[in-house]
Amino acid sequence: MKDIDFMAKAIELAKRGKLKTQPNPMVGCVIVKNNKIVGEGWHQEYGKDHAEINAIKNCKKRFGLKKAIKIIAGSDFYVNLEPCSIEKNTPPCTNALIEHKIKKLFCGTLDPNPKINGQGIRLLKKAGIKTKVGLLKEECRKLNKIFFINQKKLRPYIILKSAQSIDGKIALKNGDSKWISNTESRRDSHHIRSRVKGILVGRGTAEKDNPSLTVRLSKKELGIDKNETIEQPVKIIIGNLKKSKKNNKLFSNNAKVIIGSRNSAKQSKNLEYIEYKGKDFLDKFLKDLLARNISSILVEGGRKTLNTFIAKNLFDELVIYTAPIFLGDGSIKALSVKAPNSIKKSSKLKKVKIERFKDDIKTTYYNENI
């Protein structure tokens, strides 16, 4: 096998932690000696051992403690992200690599965290360990796009989602919108929900639709073990919302709810109100959500909320499910952003991904800002 193959293996291992690692990045590690894999691991859950430590433990489990220590000494490590060099929930991984006297580290990307960026590599070099950075760089960056946005933009990774008709409408004039998209599209949207830490809607949607904002998929559909728990995203509301019969689904089952508004209200165990003085507090609200480890958000509307995020260019993905129906004039439009002065000045999204769910078309637009 070649270096690129071992890094590809590390990336595949990293993906196994996709539902459990946020706000930490997904990281996989492969230990190689004499062109053979002698240990492998990945970061399985936030707050627990990192990939490098799990790979070392795996090697020791395979060969026994004494033999493994000899094997790891002089071995090569392949990781998709720079090993951490600061202590937070776990000791620095750089210390473990130095203590085990590894020969060389292959690293996909540097850690974008300014407290770490390049420091781990410098410590390894100082200890006499060879390093190579940039192997499958783009694949490694794409894998941890959420983490990169968190560190560089100091806000959560934001996905905007909407379902519309062919003529770009999200509801009839009377507000009826159930259901524009089909069951397969809605199931796919629950997969998106399972990969984010929070789901955000405006006060109007919370009161009108009384949404549950939960992941309603089985463990089998999510690809997780029977003994694991399905982690529900935090429910996030913008606007002065009070508990009532109109929104009882939001507050059911002791769900975690965060409300950002200009008014304060009584806090409870699973309900937090964040009060802001100014009228335009969205940017501050997003920073406060990230500070609460909500590293990714799915914005599900309504129209006013979606358009606010678009107008402020506060999004990383725009997901639109288009159903083969017409809702006609007078129906509510999906998007209504302010028109530019010229075509040249219009906002353009560069990357597009198209998928099909029966007769519905899912289009994902990527806002390239990482």
Residues labelled catalytic: 52
C-beta of residue 45 within 8 angstroms of C-beta of residue 20: yes
- Separation of alpha carbons 260 and 282, rounded Å: 9
Q: How many CB atoms lie within 10 A of CB 191?
A: 13
The H-or-E segment that residue 200 falls in is strand 198-202
Q: Please, what's the b/e burial string for 128-161 (b: 16 or more CB within 10 A of its CB; e: otherwise)?
A: ebebeeebbeeebbebbbbbbbbbebebbbbbbb
CB burial of residue 348 (10 Å; 0-12, 13-18, 19+): exposed
Angle at 102 between CA 97 and CA 107, to 5 degrees: 70
Nearest to 39 by CA among 65, 83, 84, 72: 72
- Separation of alpha carbons 257 and 270, rounded Å: 6
Helices 51-63/65-72 angle, 10° precision: 130
C-beta of residue 251 within 8 angstroms of C-beta of residue 212: no
> Going by DSSP bridges, is the β-strand pair 76-81/351-357 parallel, antiparallel, or unpaired?
unpaired
